[in-house]
Amino acid sequence: MTNEFVTMLNAMPGWVREMGIVILTASPEEVSCEWVVSEKHHQGYGIVHGGVHCGVIETLASIGAAAVAHPRGQRVVGLENNTSFIRAVRSGKLHASAKPVTRGRSSQVWEAWIRDEKEQLVAQGRVRLLCMDEDRALG
């Protein structure tokens, strides 16, 4: 994908921007991002909330799956997100990447990994997405 695509993704309003997540790369082969952990990412014990990890993993999988599906007149919606929390994080910079497991016509599966500045695994997950025709109503 082009740098314009990544620029457009980073300019979109919503959860990704509110969380300070910066998309670095976006293609049908891999999507990556990074963000600096702050208090807005914390749960009550002062560590990154598991929902942040789930959200990042689903975001990257969705971007990658959309990069595959859009050229064939489809859009994608998440069906399942299984995320494991490996290491607690309180501060620092995290980065994540996602790669496809399968890119079928009706469904896709993507895996993602979140790592800290020392390259230690923080969380990993797998997302299953449904590919549907663009003219099909959602919901």
The residues assigned a catalytic role are: 58
- The C-alpha angle 85, 86, 92, rounded to 5 degrees, equals 95
* Cα 132 to the center of its chain, rounded Å: 19
Which residues, 6 or more positions from 112, have their beta carbon under 8 angstroms from its beta carbon? 56, 57, 60, 61, 96, 97, 98, 99, 124, 125, 126, 127
Going through 54-91 in order, the beta strands assigned E by DSSP cover 74-85
Partners of residue 113 on adjacent β-strands: 97, 124
On whether the CB atoms of residues 70 and 124 are closer than 8 A, the answer is no
Residue whose tokens read 């959860």: 15
